[in-house]
Amino acid sequence: MTDRDRGTPGESDDGVPATGEVIPDRFSSDEVFQRIVADADHEITSGARELFFAAVAGGFAITVTFLLYASLSASTEGAIAAVLLYPIGFVYIIIGGYQLYTENTLPPVALTLERLTSVPSLFRHWLVVLAGNFTGGAIGAVALAYGGVFSPGAGAVALGLAKKGIETPAHALFFKGAFAGLIVAGVVWMDFAARDTISRITVVYLAFLAIPLGNLFHVVVSFTEAVYAALAGDLAMTVALSEFVLPVLLGNTLGGIALVTVVNYYQTSERRLEVERFEHVRRLSGREMLLGNLAGRSYVPIVDTLEEFVRDPESYRILVPVANPRTERRLVEFACTLARQREKGTVHAVHIVQAPTRMSLEEDGHRDRITRESNRLIDDLETAVAPEEVAFETSTIVSTRSFEEVFDRARRTRPDLVVMGWGSDRLWTAARAERPLDELTNRLPSDFLVVKDRGLDPSRVLLPTAGGPDSDLNAGVARTLRTTADADVSLLHVVDGPGEREAGERFIEEWAAERDLGDARSVVDDGGDIEAAIEREAADHTLVLIGATERGMIARLVTESLHLDVVNDVNASVVLAERPTERSLRQRLFGRGRREK
């Protein structure tokens, strides 16, 4: 037989391809897991408001399930006919993208098992979603109880559903809830394995139909039933919560985690995340995973190109976070100037890219374009700065929490100093939407210099001081600039009146001598107005070094509550310095961020 007789090359006698690759018609378990992790990333980092209201919508959708279940049970005689529309609320939730507590026993847990988020973040996610579901369910129950929605027969059936739950023993509720949790987590797994909407709807419908057919319990439905019974009947809510809702909640949670999530996790291969989209994603340490922010951080950025890091204890490291390498070259040059005096001075420039809130790991093209562009910009920055006598390192972070990344990178690399620019870029703008600033900025991992760049000419430096650790940091900066940039340094001390001038002169003389600035020009102003004195002296200087305010400089810069007008009134560049301060456990738990004087 010739090739002509066989038809096209590469085909067997019956027309089946004899060469090439087989294209699978379904995802492998590894691919399903990758899709779940990619989707869970943006959910676990969502804001509480967004998450809560998506869960409220989910809870209200469950009211539709409760309504139809009770109504059909009252109007039909067959048990199967009564439950045919039970899944409708769950279809709304899963196809519509709402939040459901039991649905979240899979994606966030998978993220936690991979050490991509922490256990505290998982619990926070669960609590917000559960609160939203219960709120939506309660609103729906109020509407059903007082809105005249139920017929008398349907209302009686609805009350009977809650009574049935109360009369079921707690251990039976737990195991019935566990099987329901298994079903829901299994639906989520199959939802990510499905390739089309019709398949997803079919899976969701059939799976949730099994809950009433199997006489099982779902916690949000149970809570809605309990609230309705408390409003329309004589059921005590405390009894309903403790003897009905709580056992179902525990069963749903453990069933979803133990019977599906963990089992499905261990059926994947060790190479489940060895794909390009996860190439630059680092894992949390074991301590970070268990303790979250208390141990450093509670989530991982979308991209982090820093490899495994070992700090040289003899080096002097300066970390420079930049939002735009094109416009922050002088900031990096300033950091190199400060590092040049050290024997092992190292400057680490990290480009922190603020990612869109909804950007996730699955957006390969978008993420890769950002990474390539960042690498190009950071390479151009290194070429332009051309640091001499200083080791220069670079890395890139793509994150939805760019401001928090500054502090995490500082904790991870343990620099001696962080030098960052201050302006209206996205790094500072994003800070207002991130975790509580007082807690974040009152746990400074190192010394901080925040620079208002107006040319960054270090030739004539003004250092106002009244003592304190932040002024000591500025004194070190002034000494370095005097050595490496041949800067002329002037010191300024302000007293309340002429009667205090002599004491002020003694103070500034002793302070300067103790900090190796005895040859600096000293000015004592007896006008009592600190900002006016700084503004007058700054007219003849190119750089002003100012210490932090009492309550914490960085937090005030973010909230635009730094009541120091001189920063904006002078024409010179301004460097604001802040040193870490120790805070007791009581201050961390109950304080409002104030720094000790």
User: Counting Cβ atoms within 10 Å, is residue 197 exposed (0-12), middle (13-18) or buried (19+)?
Assistant: exposed
Please tell me the number of Cα atoms within 13 Å of 518 on its side-chain side.
Answer: 4
State the pLDDT confidence band at 430, using cuts at 50, 70 and 90: low
- Determine the 3-state secondary structure of 463 from DSSP: strand
Model confidence at 359: pLDDT above 60:
no
Cα separation, 210 vs 58, in Å, equals 20
Element (H, E) at 215: none
Predicted pLDDT at 61: 94
Model confidence at 84: pLDDT above 70:
yes
- Please state the pTM of the whole predicted model: 0.61
Cα separation, 397 vs 415, in Å, equals 17
Give the residue from 512, 471, 513, 463 showing the smallest Cα distance to 492.
Answer: 463
For residue range 192-214, what is the model confidence (pLDDT) as tens digits? Answer: 888 788 988 999 999 999 999 99
Predicted pLDDT at 308: 60
Model confidence at 310: pLDDT above 70:
no
Top-confidence residue, 470 or 441:
470
For residue range 500-522, what is the model confidence (pLDDT) as tens digits? Answer: 999 999 999 999 999 999 899 99
- Determine the 3-state secondary structure of 227 from DSSP: helix
Give the residue from 360, 438, 416 showing the smallest Cα distance to 594.
Answer: 438
Residues 6+ away with beta carbon under 8 Å from 589 = none
The pLDDT of 538-553, averaged and rounded, is: 81
| Least confident window among 187-201, 427-441, 482-496 | 427-441
Model confidence at 47: pLDDT above 80:
no
The pLDDT of 408-433, averaged and rounded, is: 75
Predicted pLDDT at 293: 57
Q: DSSP labels for 381-438?
A: HHHHH--SSSEEEEEEEEES-HHHHHHHHHHHH--SEEEEE-SSSHHHHHHTTSS-HH
The pLDDT of 324-345, averaged and rounded, is: 89
Model confidence at 597: pLDDT above 80:
no
The pLDDT of 51-64, averaged and rounded, is: 94
Give the residue from 233, 58, 245 showing the smallest Cα distance to 157.
Answer: 233
- Please give the DSSP secondary-structure letter assigned to residue 303: E
State the pLDDT confidence band at 40, using cuts at 50, 70 and 90: confident
Q: What is the mean pLDDT of the chain?
A: 81
- Please give the DSSP secondary-structure letter assigned to residue 292: G
Cα separation, 436 vs 431, in Å, equals 9
- Determine the 3-state secondary structure of 506 from DSSP: helix
> What domains can you pick out in the chain, each with its CATH number?
29-273 (1.20.1080.10), 314-435 (3.40.50.620), 452-597 (3.40.50.620)
**Widest CA span in the chain:** 116
For residue range 209-262, what is the model confidence (pLDDT) as tens digits? Answer: 999 999 999 999 999 999 999 999 888 999 999 999 999 999 999 998 886 677
476: left (phi over 0), alpha (psi -120 to 50) or beta: alpha
Predicted pLDDT at 18: 53
Predicted pLDDT at 237: 92
